[in-house]
Amino acid sequence: MRLVFAGTPEFALPCLRACHDSDAELVAVYTQPDRPAGRGRKLTPSPIKQAALDYGVPVEQPKTLRDAEAQVRLASYRPDLMIVVAYGLILPQAVLDIPTLGCWNVHASLLPRWRGAAPIQRAIAAGDTDTGVALMRMEAGLDTGPVLLERRQPIAADETGGSLHDKLAALGAELLADGLRRALDDDLPPARPQPDDGVTYAHKLDKAEAELDFSRCAVELERKVRAFDPWPVAVADVAGERLRLWSAKAIDRDHDAAPGTVLGGDADGLDIACGENVLRVGEVQRAGGRRMRVADFLNARPDLRRRET
């Protein structure tokens, strides 16, 4: 079986490794063009490109797969199967038709819930208690294809976007490896069409969403802080300062303060009044500063320390 792999960010690395280590033949890797990165804005290859070069696998970086030249180039690799994991480019029907066995996608949710670009963060922000990964046979629609295999993953009470990302990346690779073994043994289960009920969309993250509105309930804001760690990171104006909020916990506590009022802080955290209950912030980052515990932040802002009553 001849495989072509398409992916770009770190999330796709374990799946690329699963393809490389399988009994199939990895004949080419597709990834997005090098992008400017860092303070010097130097062109930087994607994590997938760097790994593919280490493996000695040919790398292709077309800006689009919609033009005929790119499609002819893909067809020249004579792929039996194309594996797509967080690639970032649309695959038109002409591309989906090139591999003799079609295209598979590893998606970080239990479809049809959270189709789209940011399923990990949206699941945490919505308060889901579990999620998973799905191995899907691709169609032209956005994550609409039938599901071949899936695995569940509980969402921990303190789960962040980063921790769940790592868990699902590893779980997705296990699922893909299982799918490839079954395909090679001609033991793959029939693809299951996605139900019409339960469809939700995980729209791409926007930095503007990172702004916390303290008129909302504390539970909702806690989820948002956890979901947006490590990117784009929740931000808020707190006691006259613009802060990034790296960790927070909802506290069941009544108050009569206006939303956004700092109720006091100590080694346990900085309590901020919300529309319902209190958000206890554990780690912050000041403008131009580093991430720090609230206990250290209070050394610079002793006026925010909790007063004994």
Tell me: pLDDT of 309 over 90.
Answer: no
Assess whether 93 and 192 both reside in one domain: yes
Q: Report how far residue 222's alpha carbon sits from residue 126's, in angstroms, rounded to the nearest whole number.
A: 11
Assess whether 148 and 257 both reside in one domain: no
- Which of 202, 234, 268 delimits the end of a domain? 202
On whether residue 134 sits in a domain, the answer given is yes
Assess whether 191 and 77 both reside in one domain: yes
Q: What is the pLDDT of residues 227-277, one digit of tens each?
A: 999 999 999 999 999 999 999 999 999 999 999 999 999 999 999 999 999
Q: Binding site membership for (6S)-5,6,7,8-tetrahydrofolate: which residues?
A: 109-112
- Which of 175, 202, 229 delimits the end of a domain? 202
pLDDT for 308: 56
Q: What is the pLDDT of residues 18-66, one digit of tens each?
A: 999 999 999 999 999 999 988 788 899 999 999 999 999 999 999 999 9
CATH number for position 291: 3.10.25.10
Transcribe 182-203 into DSSP letters: HHHTT-PPPPBPPPSTT--EEP
Q: Is 283 exposed, middle or buried (0-12, 13-18, 19+ CB in 10 A)?
A: buried
Q: What is the pLDDT of residues 167-191, one digit of tens each?
A: 999 999 999 999 999 999 999 999 9
CATH number for position 76: 3.40.50.170
User: What's the mean pLDDT in 72-93?
Assistant: 97
- Which of 202, 224, 258 delimits the end of a domain? 202
Q: Report how far residue 18's alpha carbon sits from residue 170's, in angstroms, rounded to the nearest whole number.
A: 10
Q: Total domain count for the chain? A: 2
On whether residue 124 sits in a domain, the answer given is yes
Mean pLDDT for the chain? 96
Helix (H) or strand (E) holding 104: strand 103-107
The reported pTM is 0.96
Residue 99: band (very low, low, confident or very high) from pLDDT cuts 50, 70, 90: very high
Could you say which DSSP state residue 39 is in? T
Assess whether 121 and 246 both reside in one domain: no
Q: Binding site membership: which residues?
A: 109-112
Domain extent, residue 15, equals 2-202
